[in-house]
């Protein structure tokens, strides 16, 4: 049976785990209302996309 | 060999998939814009554009080919009479996908699929609300509904 020769050091373990770190989504700003919007997506708060009204939003 | 013959399977059998795509294209023809998951929108788009190409040919043969795929006479008629002529100056790219973010229930990415040459259709919630208000106004139990009316009408205004 193959068996680890060395104990994994804290640094080696943490370096490996560091690559799994959560990253916040990359958000852009809606040019119409200024709220945060994912890229290439109609703004959920004002309904604008590429300079025109795409959908009507309740309460906007 | 099926090299580069890409088919979006959508987790369905071939017949189920064909029926789904045909229905989606017919809905798109009828309503000018449909809201589906992004995967389905991407799968529907090539078929919809092929149907427009048939519509631009306008021949009886093209009409029968379209009917054999869509299986709805009203949709084929509207396709050939309205939708194909207005895209006469466009060489492909008749449809547009607008991403709408993720659905609340299952986090599926949702999108609009719409005709590029359609007049800008904003999703109209207001007329429905008005008709509901009128109906509720005519209805007898007037005490329970007025507060709901005011809540609905304020955000629209
Ligand atoms: Zn906005």
Average pLDDT, chain A: 89
Are A58 and B125 in contact (CB < 8 Å)? yes
User: How far apart are alpha carbons A41 and A49 in whole angstroms?
Assistant: 7
Q: Which residues of A touch B123 (CB under 8 A)?
A: 55-56
Cα B129 to ligand 1 centroid, rounded to whole Å: 23
Which residue's entry shows tokens 């809540």? B151
Check residue B86 and report its DSSP letter.
H
Task: Write out the two tokens for B2.
Answer: 């099926």
Task: Write out the two tokens for A18.
Answer: 């560091």
Which among B33, B99, B154 is the top mutation candidate for probing chain A, defined by the most A β-carbons within 10 Å of its own β-carbon? B99
pLDDT on residue A53: 76
Question: B59 with B84: CB under 8 angstroms?
Answer: no
Rg of chain A taking only CA atoms, in angstroms: 22
Nearest to B137 by CA among B125, B120, B150, B126: B150
**Interchain contact B122–A (C-beta under 8 A):** yes
Res. A8: pLDDT tops 80:
yes
| Consecutive H or E run containing B130 | helix B126-138
State in Å, rounded, how far the first CA of chain A is from the last one.
65
Question: pLDDT by residue (tens digit) across B59-114?
Answer: 999 999 999 999 999 999 999 999 999 999 999 999 999 999 999 999 999 999 99
Are A42 and B99 in contact (CB < 8 Å)? yes
Cα A42 to ligand 1 centroid, rounded to whole Å: 8
The interface predicted TM-score (ipTM) is: 0.77
Question: pLDDT by residue (tens digit) across B26-63?
Answer: 999 999 999 999 999 999 999 999 999 999 999 999 99
Question: pLDDT by residue (tens digit) across B114-139?
Answer: 999 987 655 544 444 333 333 333 33
Which among B35, B123, B130 is the top mutation candidate for probing chain A, defined by the most A β-carbons within 10 Å of its own β-carbon? B123
Greater confidence, A56 or B82? Answer: B82
pLDDT on residue A47: 87
Enter the pTM of the model.
Answer: 0.75
Structural fold of domain B14-121: 50s Ribosomal Protein L17; Chain: A, (3.90.1030)
Cα B37 to ligand 1 centroid, rounded to whole Å: 22
- Which residue ranges make up each domain of chain B? 14-121
């Amino acid at each position: 049976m193959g068996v680890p020769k060395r104990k994994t050091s804290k640094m080696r373990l943490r370096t490996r785990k560091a690559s799994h770190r959560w990253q916040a989504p990359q958000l852009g700003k809606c040019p119409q209302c200024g709220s945060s919007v994912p890229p290439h997506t109609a703004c959920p708060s004002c309904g604008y996309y590429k300079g025109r009204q795409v959908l009507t939003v309740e309460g906007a | 060999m099926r090299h580069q013959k890409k088919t979006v399977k959508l987790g369905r059998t071939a017949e189920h998939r064909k029926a789904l795509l045909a229905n989606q294209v017919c809905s798109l023809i009828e309503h000018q814009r449909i809201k589906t998951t992004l995967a389905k929108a991407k799968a529907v788009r090539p078929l919809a554009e092929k149907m427009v190409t048939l519509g631009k040919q306008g021949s009886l043969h093209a009409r029968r080919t379209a009917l054999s795929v869509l299986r709805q006479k009203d949709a084929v008629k509207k396709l050939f009479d309205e939708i194909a002529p207005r895209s006469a100056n466009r060489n492909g790219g008749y449809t547009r996908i607008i991403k709408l973010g993720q659905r609340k229930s299952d986090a599926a990415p949702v999108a609009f699929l719409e005709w590029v040459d359609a007049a800008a259709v904003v999703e109209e919630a207001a007329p429905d609300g008005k008709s509901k208000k009128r109906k509720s106004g005519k209805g007898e139990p007037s005490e329970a509904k007025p507060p709901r009316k005011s809540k609905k009408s304020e955000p629209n205004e």
